[in-house]
Amino acid sequence: MKRYILRLVPAVLAGMIMVLSGCGGDGGYESAGDGGAEGDLPVASAESADPTWPESVPEGPIDFKKHVRPILIINCLECHNREDAPRNGNFIMETRALMMSTGSAPPALVPGDPDKSALITVMTLDPLHQRAMPPAPDKIWGVRLEILRRWIKEGAVWPEDVTLVHPREITEW
């Protein structure tokens, strides 16, 4: 829990700074966190120290294991796993096949089109919206959202041998 709170503090502060500075047009949450154009975000030439909270968008293609997997595990798998899915829209995110076939309106991914992917839609809803995911205050925005958008735009490549696990099962990335 302490580790979670320490990760949350920078996110809350960054969000406050974005809103206070007027970043994102009207200062609304969706505008401040929609990721905007890729050129608006820092691009990395080296890997970020924390894969669950990257500081910049990686150069070149998005690598599922390095860039997407940590974000999905930390932000989604606590609720969207086989055990807890019945209480969370019956949406399981452990494999690409499950992400494409479970939940109330599959598929959650439309490879090549992040704007038609329910995964991105629920992440960009107002934090107070009933369907917003992850629930406030854990919203995904900025660099992390842009990584997910680019991954989907690039075809949502997810190696078949990679299964996501509950965050409590992660010992190292």
b/e per residue, 105-126, with b = 16+ CB within 10 A? eebbbbbeebeebbbbebbbee
Q: Name the residue with higher pLDDT: 53 or 112.
A: 112
pLDDT at 4: 46
pLDDT in tens, 110-145: 999 999 999 999 999 999 999 999 987 888 999 999
In one letter, which amino acid is 90? N
Strand partners, 11: none
- Please say whether the dihedral angle defined by the alpha carbons of residues 17, 21, 24 and 26, taken in this order, is positive or negative: positive
Is this model's pTM higher than 0.85 or not?
no
**Burial degree of 81 (CB within 10 A; 0-12, 13-18, 19+):** buried
**What's the chain's average pLDDT?**
79
Strand partners, 58: 44
Q: How far apart are CA 93 and CA 77, in angstroms?
A: 7
